Amino acid sequence: MKILHASAEYFPYIKMGGLADMLASLTKEQAKSEEVYVALPFIGGLGKEPQWTGKEYPALLSKDAKTDSLIVSVLMASRFLEAEESGVKLYFFQSDLFQSLNSIYGHADEHFRFAMFSYACYALSQMLKVDVFHAHDWHTALSVALQKDSPFPIPSVFTIHNLAYQGDHPFWMTGFLKEEPFRLVTSPFDHNGKCNYMKAGILSAGQITTVSPGYREETLTEPNGFGLSYCLNQRASDYSGILNGIDSDEWNAKIDKRIYKTFTDSNWKEGKLKNKTELYKEIGRPFLPLDAPLVGLIGRLTYQKGFPTFLKALLERRHLPHRYVVLGSGDPETENAFFHLSETIPDIFYFYKGYNEGLAHKIEAASDFFLMPSLFEPCGLNQMYSHVYGSIPIVSRVGGLKDTVEESNLLPYKTGIVFEPNDVGSLGYALERASDLFRSDERDVVVKNIMNLDWSWEKRKKEYQLVYTRSIELQI
């Protein structure tokens, strides 16, 4: 089967969050048995120099090249450059629209830039004559709408990674979608008076998926549907939740070159102690005693991640022996609050503002616990990464977190600590339970247990295969 994915992120080239990791690891696994292609934007600030094959493809279908418009001329001056990575063919969309960008999101004209990228992805799918076209999140959603209206539609799948970001723009900005080469009827994409790209993807795709069964259920009602639950309910029979997998070549305590000392489930105590000691040296914080539990936190500092709840719980439970190392950037208010704690309680709290892939691995390896206080979480990857590094996750009971972490009373099934979202008391009590678990004999059983959980894509890629088959059958 030939599959083309279209995405704004792909690790290690463009990464802002979990989408990059999810797609790179899924496609690497798919490429073991299928022909897998990925289209992504060519930005100035790529995380790695691609291995070019020298092949190029146009970004415009020849029939559309005959029409005359500004958009057509921009697309004529753009192209796809082919590269290869782990058995996957990558198609970098080279265009003035993206070339000058150092990071992928947050720029003016996103409505136009991603619409153009979406058209180019659609054109590429037609040129490569793929069997399935798989688009991810609002940035590429219009390519699915173009597919639906095409005289030669390719079976399509649209994956929602996060409903909080929908790509909705005032209609006066999206008038160009009616023109060549789009020719889209945009009135069905109207949501609250705006042209909503995410809605276009939901309405147009043959099959829709999201990244965990738990989040699928949550998005069928408000507020977690972010206003689009009615749309998802209309398409409920074509909508499935497939849990993300992880890349065990990238995230693996046994072989990780980014950490200070690799370890297994039999020498994890020694491994953690060494990683903790070295991490403290690197960040310049000799947190003592060394056997006090270290809680790691990593993430985009946005509303979704629930950090203000953590801040309140931390201050309420100052008596606990925990030390905290936080890595992230985003919302300035949360950044300032973390900086403030880093200054006022430097003996227990450290904050690193920024994005640092290497440090993320080191924190996972050194931490005894990993905290994710999300208010909502489509899947979440760090709780699974934490398992692999023997770092016990403490998570809120939402979305993919509740599908992957269980605080069972039956010891062999306990894979973490779970609390209620947005509830300071519940989070505080979870921190208390972590402290008890840290000192008890149970900890060894739990750590060994979580280090052996299988979060690989091997089993789960079959679920995507089924969705592809369903989308193909629908088209016949």
Closer to ligand ADP at the Cβ: 47 or 170? 47
Q: What minimum distance in Å lies between the beta carbon of 304 and ligand ADP?
A: 7
- Residue with the closest Cβ to ligand ADP? 18
Least spacing, CB of residue 457 vs ligand GLC, in Å: 12
Q: 60 vs 295, which CB is nearer to ligand ADP?
A: 295
Which partner, ligand GLC, ligand ADP, none, binds residue 201 by CB below 5 to 8 Å per kind?
none
Nearest approach, Cβ of residue 75 and ligand GLC (Å): 29
Cβ atoms of 235 and 202 within 8 Å: the answer is: yes
Residues in contact with ligand GLC by CB under 6 A are 17-19, 22, 161-162, 211, 244, 377-381, 400
Cβ-Cβ contacts under 8 Å for 346 (sequence gap 6 or more): 285
Based on CB atoms, which residue is closest to ligand GLC, 272 or 402?
Answer: 402
Closest separation between CB of residue 300 and ligand ADP, Å?
5
Quote the CA–CA distance of 122 and 6 in Å, as a whole number.
9
Smallest separation, CB 252 to ligand ADP (Å): 14
Angle between helices 110-128 and 141-149 (to 10 degrees): 50
From residue 38, how far is each of 20, 90, 149, 259 by CA, in Å? 12, 5, 22, 30
The entry of ligand GLC, ligand ADP, none near residue 357 (CB within 5 to 8 angstroms by kind) is ligand ADP
Is 441 in a helix, a strand, or coil? Answer: coil
As given in the structure block, the two tokens for residue 449 are: 């247990």
Enumerate binding residues for ligand ADP (CB under 6 A). Answer: 17-19, 21, 298-300, 327-329, 355-357, 360, 379-382
Which does residue 57 bind out of ligand ADP, ligand GLC, none, counting CB within 5 to 8 angstroms by kind? none
**Nearer of residues 95 and 304 to ligand ADP, judged by Cβ:** 304
Residue 300 contact partner, candidates ligand ADP, ligand GLC, none, CB within 5 to 8 A by sort of partner = ligand ADP
The one of ligand GLC, ligand ADP, none whose footprint includes residue 214, by CB under 5 to 8 A per kind, is none
Least distance between ligand ADP and beta carbon 356 (Å): 5
| DSSP code per residue over 305-332 | G-HHHHHHHHHHTTTS--EEEEEEEE-H
Residues flagged as binding site for ADP-alpha-D-glucose: 15
Residues in contact with 224: Cβ distance below 8 Å, sequence separation at least 6, in sequence order: 163, 215, 218, 376
DSSP 8-class letter at 465: H
Residue type, 93: F
Question: Quick one: what does residue 299 bind among ligand ADP, ligand GLC, none, with the CB cut-off 5 to 8 Å set by partner type?
Answer: ligand ADP
Angle between helices 197-204 and 110-128 (to 10 degrees): 30
In the three-class reduction of DSSP (H, G, I as helix; E, B as strand; rest coil), residue 151 is classed as coil
Nearer to ligand GLC, 161 or 361 (CB): 161
* CB nearer to ligand ADP: pick between 379 and 394: 379
Cβ-contact 140, 119 below 8 angstroms: no
The set of residues, in sequence order, having a beta carbon less than 8 Å from that of 172 and lying 6+ positions away, is: none
The distance of closest approach from Cβ of residue 51 to ligand GLC in the complex, given in angstroms and rounded to an integer, is 25
**Using CB distances below 5 to 8 A depending on partner kind, what does residue 211 bind out of ligand ADP, ligand GLC, none?**
ligand GLC
d(CA 286, CA 269): 19
Residue numbers in the known binding site are 15
Q: Tell me whether residue 88 or residue 327 sits nearer to ligand ADP (CB atom).
A: 327
Q: For ligand GLC, which residue has the nearest CB?
A: 18
Measured in degrees and rounded to the nearest 5, phi and psi for residue 198 equal: -60, -40
In the bound complex, what is the minimum distance in angstroms from residue 330's beta carbon to ligand GLC? 13
Among ligand ADP, ligand GLC, none, partner that 355 touches (CB below 5 to 8 angstroms by kind): ligand ADP
Distance CA(135)–CA(219), nearest Å, equals 19
With 0-12 CB in 10 A as exposed, 13-18 as middle and 19+ as buried, what is 109? exposed
Two structure tokens written together for 431: 């921190």
| Closer by beta carbon to ligand GLC, 161 or else 191 | 161
Residue 31, classed as helix, strand or coil, is: coil
